[in-house]
Amino acid sequence: MTTTIKKSMLLLAAAFSLGACSKFDEINTNPNQATQVSSAMLATNMILNITRSDINTTKAFMQPYLLGKYLTWGEGQEANQFNKFGRTNFNRLPLLRNVTPMVNAAPDEGLRKSYEGLGYFIRAWQFFYTTMQVGDIPYSKAIKGESESIIQPVYDSQRDVFIGILNELDLADQLLAEGTNFSGDPIYGGKTDNWRRVVNSFQLHVLMQLYRKTSDAGLNVINRFKEIVQNRPLMRNFADNFALTYNATAGQNYPWSDVPAGSNPNVRSNYTMLTATLLNPLKALQDRRLFYYAKPSPVQLAAGKTASDWDAYIGAEPSNSFSSLQIMRNSKDYSDFNNRYTNLVNAEPVSMFSYAELQFILAEASLRGWINTATPQEFYSAGIRDAMRFTANFTPDIADYHHNMKMDDAYISAYPETEGVALQGSMEEQLEQIILQKYLAGFLQGSNNTAWYENRRTGYPVFVLNPGTNLNIPSDKFPVRWLYPSNELSYNTRNLDAAVQAQYGGNDNVNEEMWLLKN
């Protein structure tokens, strides 16, 4: 074949390729679908990713509450219930590639600042929950594959990650304060004031995780906390909760809903039993949320007790052997979820972070002497009252949903100061009370293992350690972290090895304490 013929054929092929590509694009472009992505579309995707995608549905919805010892599961021996930890993933981080396009697509300066502030919050949120699982993570060089061709990012120390998270939350508040209301927000309708309140309230949560690090001048934990409480807007009540609300639209039903009947096979199979860890404190403290959270044991009803009798509610000990729990389940002498969780498509919003949680954080900060704007009891009472009002507000006035033990305004107002509930005793005893109330308020709220992290941080509420059923090795210890992702082992080996060596002496083990947990 001559050179001239070769050149002609190449030119013809190139022309055909260009024309075919154009024709292909024309044929395969959906006229009903946007060809350009807007800031609003990217914002919606990211907000739903850190809410709806994290919350999950049916059995997956219950996994954080198995780990938090709120319930047991009867289908099989669940790893979370019996403390068996494996490898986690870094799946939260690829989402952050959308932050820069979201900001760049903003049509004016006010919107650019709002979307940038939102982006900093989402970055802080995702990095926070990633580092909480394992310790050191890629941070300063993460998500730079496109911009800087970094596909094997180094790991930053957990201390540096926390400093970065706090700084990004500061920037988020500043930019949202300067920005304008924006589109694409399924939670707050794009109101920057609401987002500032979440950003600042969440930063207080992050700072409380650092309570062992108050002597670190670089972190400046106490002064940061004080400044936020004194000078920035915070959440005001449960209407400000960072929460996903459900409705009757297909795919947008409450995660444990069984409407239409039979649509949730886990409900039909009766796999769940509520635990003594949850129910016993409610009974001991005469907390009427018991009647909103649970339904009575049918065995106790058959024996003559009524649905409004405290003793009609029976909790399972989640550390008991699977076989003994199966015997209890087969006996029917236990309490399961209140019917409202299965009968209603919109049982209640699920909060990723709530006003009640904020108040318990403030109560702990006041107890520790970080702030003096109110007493620990005042913050504590506000948290309990709001949690109760939230539950009462979203429960229809049907006897089956509160068992004729309604929480009216008078009950809610008086309850936090009643004997046995009001804070008393030593600082440690009051801390235990605060964390217990945070735990009770967190029933089916938050999907980021909040209760387990609080137990890891404070030891409260106390989870029973049963060496005979604990799947951790050794069986006389609870695990304190997950293992690093298998993808990092395969594709970022050198940097992962360096991080494991620096933190854990080369031992990527679930029993090794990360920097955050060390005094």
Inform me whether the pLDDT recorded for 355 exceeds 50.
yes
Average pLDDT, the chain: 93
DSSP string, 9-61: HHHHHHHHHHHHHHHHHHHH--TTS-SS--HHHHHHHHHHHTTHHHH--HHHH
Closest CA to 325 of 337, 315, 312: 315
Report pLDDT digits (tens) over 314-324: 999 999 999 99
Domain boundaries, the chain: 87-243+483-519, 262-348+355-470
Report pLDDT digits (tens) over 35-76: 578 999 999 999 999 999 999 889 999 999 999 999 999 999
Q: Residue 35: what pLDDT? A: 53
Q: How confident is the model at residue 441 (pLDDT cuts 50, 70, 90)?
A: very high
Report pLDDT digits (tens) over 120-167: 999 999 999 999 999 999 999 999 988 999 999 999 999 999 999 999
CA angle at 469 for the pair 517 and 341, rounded to the nearest 5°: 80
SS3 87: strand
Q: Are 338 and 254 in contact (CB under 8 A)?
A: no
Q: Residue 446: what pLDDT? A: 84
Closest CA to 444 of 358, 349, 336, 343: 349
Q: Residue 403: what pLDDT? A: 98
The 3-state secondary structure of 432-486 reads HHHHHHHHHHCCCCCCCCHHHHHHHHHCCCCCCCCCCCCCCCCCCCCCCCCECCH
| Residue ranges in 220-351 assigned as alpha helix (H) | 221-231, 265-268, 276-284, 289-293, 298-302, 322-331, 340-343
Residue 157, C-beta contacts closer than 8 angstroms, at least 6 positions apart:
136, 502, 515
Q: Residue 109: what pLDDT? A: 98
Whole-prediction pTM = 0.92
Select from 1.10.510.10, 1.25.40.390, 3.20.20.80, 1.10.150.240 the CATH code of 87-243+483-519.
Answer: 1.25.40.390
Inform me whether the pLDDT recorded for 507 exceeds 90.
yes
Q: Residue 221: what pLDDT? A: 98
**CA end-to-end span of the chain:** 78
CA distance 15 to 26: 17
The distance from CA 454 to its chain's CA centroid, rounded to whole angstroms, is 12
Inform me whether the pLDDT recorded for 13 exceeds 70.
no
Report pLDDT digits (tens) over 15-34: 333 333 444 444 444 544 45
Q: Residue 30: what pLDDT? A: 53
Inform me whether the pLDDT recorded for 1 exceeds 80.
no
Inform me whether the pLDDT recorded for 380 exceeds 50.
yes
Closest CA to 391 of 282, 314, 269, 271: 282
Joined together, the tokens standing for residue 421 give: 């509930």
The architecture in CATH of the region 262-348+355-470 reads Up-down Bundle (1.20)
Q: In whole angstroms, how large is the CA radius of gyration of the chain? A: 26
